[in-house]
Amino acid sequence: MKNQKLFGIIHILDILWAVLLVALVFAAAQFSMPRQVSARAGDVTLRYTIELGGAQGEDGELRLSPEGFHENVQIGEAVFDGIMGQEIGRIVDVYSKPFAVDAFDDSDNTFRRVEVDGLEYVYIIVEAHAQVDAYETLIGQVPIQVGRVVFIRSKYFAGEGFITAMEWVN
């Protein structure tokens, strides 16, 4: 039993257990610490896309975007959060796609995507300076994240939609 002890005092297995314990404590500490989720923490230029699900009509009611609505969106115009009233960037591009719904086809018992005349999906691409940290992306006090519902307005339109894409410009 004496040849299993280091210097005749400590068992080699006790040393191995101590090293293993220290390694486990170190690994647990590393995995439990908050991580920086973005390599671009701090101030960044953010470009994000908003798909308008509805636009405010002249009577103030929110309805689906009529065909040609995207022509009311002016590039370079400031966009504001409809709830907080804070500027959340400037429009750098806008495009539209025909509005479509899934409709049941009785002839072969399937669903088909069918375009609806007179309506369109409107996509507004906005660029803004944002603050990014390990937990969120903010433009001023407004959180920006994919899937978030946003109420936006400018001088020429107001609408409701959601963020479909985000990318850092710089």
Task: Walk along the chain (170 residues) and give the pLDDT tens digit of each residue.
Answer: 456 666 667 777 788 888 999 999 888 887 776 554 444 557 888 999 999 876 555 555 546 677 777 777 889 999 999 888 899 999 999 998 888 888 888 888 899 888 888 888 889 999 999 988 878 888 888 888 898 988 988 888 888 888 999 988 86
Say how many C-beta atoms besides its own lie within 10 A of residue 132's C-beta: 20
Report the run of H or E that residue 119 belongs to, with start and end.
strand 110-132
How far is CA 143 from each of CA 75, 139, 163, rounded to the nearest angstrom?
23, 6, 11
- Read off the tokens for 19: 């090293």
Closest of 58, 62, 55, 67 to residue 96, by C-alpha: 67
